[in-house]
Amino acid sequence: MQGPVLVVGAGAMGAGIAQVCAQAGREVTLVDVDQGVLDGALERMRPSLEKLAKKGNIRETPGIVLRRVRTVLSADGAAEPQPEAVLAIEAVPEDPELKRRILKAMEGAVSSTALIATNTSGVPVTALAESLQEPGRFLGLHFFNPPALMRVVEVIRSERTTTESFDAAVALVRSLDRDPVQVQQDLPGFVLNRIAMTASNEAIRLVQEGVATAEDVDRGVKGAFGWRMGPLETADLVGLDVVLAARGGIFDQTGDPRFEPPALLRDLVDQGHLGRKSGRGFYDYSDGEGDD
């Protein structure tokens, strides 16, 4: 499926998804309700692309890639008509009602043959499908943060997704030079988040109970298991408020104690210590501590 891509939501994930699509040679329309967010998305893309170019990971110059990204300011977040788009994906905050509204608008903006997707990490894909007139072409495409560096994308089948749409989405992800993980059931947390959350929760509890420091936990995990980042470093990067919301959502859906947010995570968020974006989380970033 060659053709343009529509991305609604220009935050960290939406901007990253837009960059990945542009790197793969696709024209991208990036939509948001805030001009500052749109400007910031482009500003973040350039240094990311420059780093990738220096490492030889992209064939074109950053300027050529960026010219494929067109930003559109929309007062209500809805998309303008995109009849040539082959994929429309929302990357707005994890608010089910907001996502349903955006998905409905996206469906009206693209042709009847385009795939429609959500980048949610915690909202059931099947529940979001209820907002669409043609739920068979809707599914989850779960990119990981930062999308420009993380090569895996979960392709999640809802109860309504057709086999044709699912297979087309798998092929599209491969065309973006990403590795699709095929998730055949719409399970809370999908596949990789369920694995990562249980490991991360245990890491937080070990710090909470004074068994080991955050530094020792992260260093040990990276050294023993080959992770690029430790679970606590990763949580700080994503944002502890985002981590808490996602984890709490899955716990509420399942009641499974493996996903219950640890007290230390709740305490840090209550204190406003949200990770890198606030200057402090499991690490203190005010003087560079915790940076690689």
119, 122, 126, 128: CA torsion to nearest 10: -60
How many Cα atoms are found within 13 Å in the side-chain-facing hemisphere of 164? Answer: 6
| Residue of 165, 139, 168, 164 lying closest to 154 (CA atoms) | 139
Tell me 95's DSSP state: -
Separation between Cα atoms, residue 197 and residue 215, nearest integer Å = 18
**CA distances to 49, 152, 209, 285 from 147, in Å:** 12, 9, 33, 23
* 189 half-sphere exposure, CB direction, 13 A CA radius: 24
Residues ≥6 apart with Cβ < 8 Å to 46: 62, 66
The catalytic site residues sit at: 121, 142, 154, 193
Omega prior to 146 cis, within 30 of 0: yes
Tell me the three-class secondary structure of 155-177, residue by residue.
EECCCCCCHHHHHHHHHHHHHCC
How many angstroms separate the Cα of 264 from the Cα of each of 209, 212, 240, 244? 9, 14, 11, 11
Tokens 């249980």: give the residue: 198
